[in-house]
């Protein structure tokens, strides 16, 4: 008898959490970033950068100061838009969106971890983590439950009511990571996430970021070789262009 089993159809490749396609970012020299007169001198911070990051990947951005790391990170997070080329977050071209639409896209799809934590001193760890859910209109009960679950997952279940000033640097960074994850974003962007930490605490934070990448795409910019070593791929920038991928 002939074999009548039907092979399953191949699944489509998942939409990357973020893509950059031939991205150029120029600034008017001495300006705040808005291009002005056509004859004004410009600085090209990024020149033809392309990359894509899918969930489950940890990608590092490396390069000396002034190489374009922060500019690229801001574009990937939807905090800025390219002069030319496209950046898409979870399939949405950010240049086609209004400022308000981009803010909503960031809220729902991007978690951002800053080097200096950016926690609100007057709020508890739990309230800091829950802040994005306030913007999403979640109920107080759901905000509290989600924040406590995430604090537990980053090893701070017993510190939920502590304010930032009562936490160590490493604990504050873990609170910041929990806050970045509270909306279950497709993409987590981290800017020098270990820059304010000692090496042992930095290792703990890096382990946490790697664990996070089971569900999210992670992009981190860093000078720290310890941080870059945990990445699946490292993109090296020089003068706004990609000079090496490894």
Give pLDDT tens digits for 120-150.
999 999 999 999 999 999 999 999 999 999 9
Inter-residue contact 193 to 209 (CB < 8 Å): yes
pLDDT at 39: 55
Per-domain residue ranges for the chain?
53-82+95-245
Which residues have C-beta within 8 Å of that of residue 36, sequence separation ≥ 6?
Answer: 28
pLDDT at 34: 56
Tell which CATH classification among 3.30.465.10, 3.40.50.300, 3.30.750.24, 3.40.50.620 matches the domain 53-82+95-245. Answer: 3.40.50.300
Confidence bin at 232 (pLDDT 50/70/90): very high
Q: How far apart are CA 168 and CA 159, in angstroms?
A: 11
pLDDT at 215: 87
Residue 115 has pLDDT above 90, yes or no: no
DSSP string, the chain: ------PPPPPPPPPPSEEEEEEEEEEETTSSS----TTS-EEEEEEEEEEEE-TT-EEEEE--TTSSHHHHHHHHTTSS--SEEEEEETTEEGGGS-HHHHHHHHHHHEEEE-TT----TTS-HHHHHHHHHHHTT--HHHHHHHHHHHHHHTT-GGGTT--GGGS-HHHHHHHHHHHHHTT--SEEEEESTTTTS-HHHHHHHHHHHHHHTTTSEEEEE-S-HHHHTT-SEEEEEETTEEEEE-
- 143-177 pLDDT, tens digit per residue, is 999 999 999 999 999 999 999 999 999 999 999 99
- 46-100 pLDDT, tens digit per residue, is 999 999 999 999 999 999 999 999 999 999 999 999 999 999 999 999 999 999 9
Confidence bin at 36 (pLDDT 50/70/90): low
Q: How far apart are CA 85 and CA 188, in angstroms?
A: 22
pLDDT at 12: 52
Q: How far apart are CA 193 and CA 60, in angstroms?
A: 11
Inter-residue contact 125 to 117 (CB < 8 Å): no
pLDDT at 2: 46
Q: How far apart are CA 97 and CA 95, in angstroms?
A: 5
Residue 4 has pLDDT above 50, yes or no: no
- Minimal CA–CA distance to 132: which of 178, 183, 97, 177? 183
């Amino acid at each position: 008898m002939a074999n009548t089993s039907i092979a399953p159809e191949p699944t489509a490749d998942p939409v990357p959490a973020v893509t950059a396609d031939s991205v150029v970012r120029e600034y008017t020299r001495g300006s705040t970033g808005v291009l002005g007169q056509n004859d004004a001198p410009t600085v090209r911070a990024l020149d033809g950068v392309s990359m894509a990051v899918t969930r489950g990947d940890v990608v590092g951005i490396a390069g000396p100061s002034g190489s374009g790391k922060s500019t690229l990170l801001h574009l990937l997070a939807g905090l800025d838009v390219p002069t030319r080329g496209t950046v898409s977050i979870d399939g949405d071209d950010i240049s086609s969106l209004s400022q308000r639409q981009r803010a909503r896209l960031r809220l729902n799809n991007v978690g951002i971890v800053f080097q200096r934590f950016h926690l609100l001193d007057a709020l508890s760890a739990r309230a800091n983590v829950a802040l994005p859910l306030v913007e999403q209109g979640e109920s107080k009960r759901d905000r509290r439950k989600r924040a406590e679950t995430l604090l537990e997952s980053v090893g701070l279940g017993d510190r939920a009511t502590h304010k930032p000033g009562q936490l160590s640097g490493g604990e504050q960074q873990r609170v910041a990571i929990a806050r970045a994850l509270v909306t279950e974003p497709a993409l987590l962007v981290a800017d020098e996430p270990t820059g304010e930490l000692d090496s042992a605490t930095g290792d703990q934070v890096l382990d946490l970021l790697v664990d996070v990448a089971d569900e999210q795409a992670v992009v981190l910019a860093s000078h720290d070789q310890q941080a870059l070593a945990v990445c699946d791929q490292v993109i090296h920038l020089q003068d706004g262009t990609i000079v090496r991928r490894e």
